[in-house]
Amino acid sequence: MERPGGNRDTYLQLIRTRSPRLEPKDAGETFRAMTGRKTGGFDAVLFDIYGTLFISASGDISLAKDQHGSSGNTAALEQHLDLPEGSLPAAFLEEVNAEHKRLAASGIPFPEVRVEELWARILTHELDDHRFLCESAALEYELAVNPVYPMPGLMELLDNLREKGIPMGIVSNAQFFTPLLFPAFLSADMNTLGFHEDLSFYSYESRRAKPDTFMYEQAASALKQRGIQAHRTLFVGNDMLNDILPAHKTGFATALFAGDKRSLRWRREDPRVGSAVPDWVITHLLDIQDLVQV
């Protein structure tokens, strides 16, 4: 799993200093069971990140077109990079769309970009020669258009599950900087927090994004190697299409996180979701403790 090297501390400080405190917005939902599935007996828990473990101003990592209509405060970055004011959102989306088209032509149904590569093109640099500039620009842009902050109860939940000995993992649309949110905000690396690297899958690594079931199938295979069956694993995410549907297809129990209006995605009018329903709707991360307890 690739991680930023010598620039890691710089990126952590950038996340901390450029991240205003955020509070979730009431989505008007209640904690409830949807399928009659029994609680308890789960041997592992997998999570989405944006809009689930972290409040996200856009509700997801900001690669979708509808997340760039209001670009946020990119003026300082444009000035720093000597780019025309207001040019970054359009330039970034142009590169995202071009890369998606290229990867789709190779047969990937839901392709994922690597943002540092896109920024190398925007800045007309060779990535290997200017990696820090390209990565830091990518991170600064993301923090400007999509501020994030830990969801209430995050640290308490992770402490609780870790103390119970329940392995935790990640299945998330993400970029190189996404795993850095945990040490930046929680002052501990993911392993210390209870996440297992062999159970953590990020779209930028495979170049395959949700709702593709690819990462979920990878997770199910890794769990099987640990002797954990998919139906004894709980997956938690905020999006019916990207999280609940593919997790259900893979055999996981599912909980739709409805704790923040900004990130909740029922997608009731989306025919791709069909008749799929989550096993539970939860409104606070600590609700997960009630689901996993025996």
* Domain co-membership, 174 together with 193: yes
* Domain co-membership, 37 together with 159: yes
- Range with the largest mean pLDDT of 62-76, 79-93, 230-244: 230-244
**Is 224 a domain residue?**
yes
pLDDT at 86: 81
* Domain co-membership, 71 together with 186: no
Residue with tokens 């025919």: 271
State the Cα–Cα distance between residues 233 and 125, nearest whole angstrom.
44
* Domain co-membership, 167 together with 285: yes
* Domain co-membership, 181 together with 127: no
Percent of the chain scored above 70 by pLDDT?
A: 94
Residues 30, 199: contact at Cβ < 8 Å? no
Paired with 77 in beta bridges are none
State the Cα–Cα distance between residues 166 and 276, nearest whole angstrom.
27
| Boundary of a domain, candidates 145, 177, 205 | 145
Q: Which of 211, 199, 261, 212 is nearest to 240 (CA)?
A: 211
> In terms of pLDDT, which residue wins out, 90 or 211?
211
Among the listed ranges 59-73, 85-99, 104-118, 271-285, which one has the minimum average pLDDT value? 59-73
Measured from the Cβ of residue 48, the count of other Cβ atoms closer than 10 Å reads: 26
Q: What is the largest CA-CA distance in the chain?
A: 58
- Confidence band of 76 (pLDDT split at 50, 70, 90): confident
* Domain co-membership, 114 together with 251: no
Segment 246-278, tens digit of pLDDT: 999 999 999 999 999 999 999 999 999 999 999
CATH of the domain at 24: 3.40.50.1000
User: Which ranges of the chain would DSSP assign to H, the alpha helix?
Assistant: 8-17, 75-80, 88-105, 115-122, 131-145, 154-163, 181-186, 190-193, 203-206, 214-225, 245-250, 287-292
Percent of the chain scored above 90 by pLDDT?
A: 81
**Is 4 a domain residue?**
no
* Domain co-membership, 116 together with 245: no
pLDDT at 4 over 60: no
pLDDT at 70: 47
pLDDT at 65 over 80: no
Residue 101's domain spans which residues? 65-145
Report how many domains make up the chain.
2
The pLDDT of 44-62, averaged and rounded, is 92
Q: Is 136 exposed, middle or buried (0-12, 13-18, 19+ CB in 10 A)?
A: buried
| Boundary of a domain, candidates 145, 166, 196 | 145
* Domain co-membership, 17 together with 158: yes
Segment 188-214, tens digit of pLDDT: 999 999 999 999 999 999 999 999 999
**Is 173 a domain residue?**
yes
Among the listed ranges 11-20, 96-105, 166-175, which one has the minimum average pLDDT value? 96-105
pLDDT at 68: 47
Among the listed ranges 68-82, 168-182, 233-247, 262-276, which one has the minimum average pLDDT value? 68-82
pLDDT at 72 over 90: no
* Domain co-membership, 153 together with 246: yes
**Is 235 a domain residue?**
yes
pLDDT at 2 over 70: no
* Domain co-membership, 273 together with 200: yes
**Is 3 a domain residue?**
no
pLDDT at 294: 59
Q: Who's near 70: CB < 8 A, 6+ residues apart? A: 145
pLDDT at 89 over 90: no
* Domain co-membership, 24 together with 120: no
Among the listed ranges 10-14, 55-59, 256-260, which one has the minimum average pLDDT value? 55-59
What is the chain's mean pLDDT, rounded? 92
**Is 2 a domain residue?**
no
| Boundary of a domain, candidates 145, 161, 185 | 145
* Domain co-membership, 105 together with 244: no
**Is 1 a domain residue?**
no
Segment 141-174, tens digit of pLDDT: 999 999 999 999 999 999 999 999 999 999 999 9
- Confidence band of 6 (pLDDT split at 50, 70, 90): low
pLDDT at 78: 84
Q: Does pTM surpass 0.75?
A: yes
**Is 26 a domain residue?**
yes
